[in-house]
Structure 1
Amino acid sequence: MATAQFEELVEDFDFLDDWEDRYRHVIDQGKAMEALPEALRVPALKVDGCASQVWLHAEMKGGTLHFDGASDAMIVSGLIALLRTLYNGLTPEQVLAVDARMEMGRLGLNDHLSAQRSNGLTAMIERVRETAQKSI
């Protein structure tokens, strides 16, 4: 189950023919995010397992989860933006029901991310899932 916004993102990616265009689009998604306040770039919000520095912040709003994040790497910031599009506005139960690897695969990214980036994406997905589990 993906959000309507994620479905729109999938459609956008369907129009991009090659990996370089998709890569640029991922980076553009990251650039479009609001900056994570420095006060939230703390060790407790840092995601272990990523080659670059990554912070994910979550909060409940009206029974749904909302994620923000930041990274010191442009492509990773883009991946955070994609995950936000996938998860924001879902209940914790819905977050846990999402097969994020499959959904991200619909964007044509799985075969093109380096092993380190893929491991980092997995670590971010696990952090989101842990946050949802704790929110139930």
Structure 2
Amino acid sequence: MSLPTTEDIIEDLTFFDDWEDKYKYIIDLGKQLPAFDDKWRTTERLVKGCQSNVWIQPDTEGELLTFSVDSDAIIVRGLLGLVLAAFDHKTAKEIVEFDISNYFQSLDLEKHLSPTRGNGLRSIVERIKNIAKASI
């Protein structure tokens, strides 16, 4: 099962009236993430700046970058689903140029996250954008 697009996510989240339902949707996104290989749970793949453990394994498919991700927190797995909708199976240039702040604003997301969760989300985005920049 593939993750929805950023446009689908924005549309789906506007359907819900309260944030409890939106959180459930985000958690369900995390449940759709593919299994993460245990051999990738290494300190090199661990994202610094996250309250929870978050691992990112980049790969390439031709010109496209792909990411395997995981976290030990269910809400963070959901947030990773939101991030992957924006960045997975994209070129490095598309990743670097994507306006993630605008996407998060469209979701009305950051004001509903704790400050530490918001910092962790920014660390995840920064890590993926740095991976993309390094491959240009």
**Pairing 1:91-130 to 2, within 5 Å after superposition:** 91-130=91-130
Deviation at 1:25, TM superposition (A): 0.7
State the match for 1:73 in structure 2: 73
Structure 1 regions of 5+ residues with no counterpart?
none
State the match for 1:26 in structure 2: 26
- The number of residue pairs the alignment matches comes to 133
Deviation at 1:106, TM superposition (A): 1.1
Paired AA for residue 89 in structure 1: H
Per-residue deviation, residues 9-51 of structure 1 (Å, max 9, x unmatched)? 1111110111111111111100111121101111110000000
State the match for 1:82 in structure 2: 82
State the match for 1:42 in structure 2: 42
Cα distance in 2 between the residues matched to 1:21 and 1:108: 14
| 4+ residue runs over 6 A deviation | none
Per-residue deviation, residues 44-80 of structure 1 (Å, max 9, x unmatched)? 1000000000001111112011112000100100011
Deviation at 1:82, TM superposition (A): 0.9
Cα distance in 1 between the residues matched to 2:130 and 2:44: 13
Cα distance in 2 between the residues matched to 1:120 and 1:98: 19
TM-score (norm 1): 0.94
The alignment's C-alpha RMSD in Å is 1.1
Deviation at 1:112, TM superposition (A): 0.2
Per-residue deviation, residues 62-121 of structure 1 (Å, max 9, x unmatched)? 201111200010010001111111111211011000121221221121110000100000
Cα distance in 2 between the residues matched to 1:34 and 1:93: 24
Structure 2 regions of 5+ residues with no counterpart?
none
Q: Do structure 1's residue 134 and structure 2's residue 130 form an aligned pair?
A: no
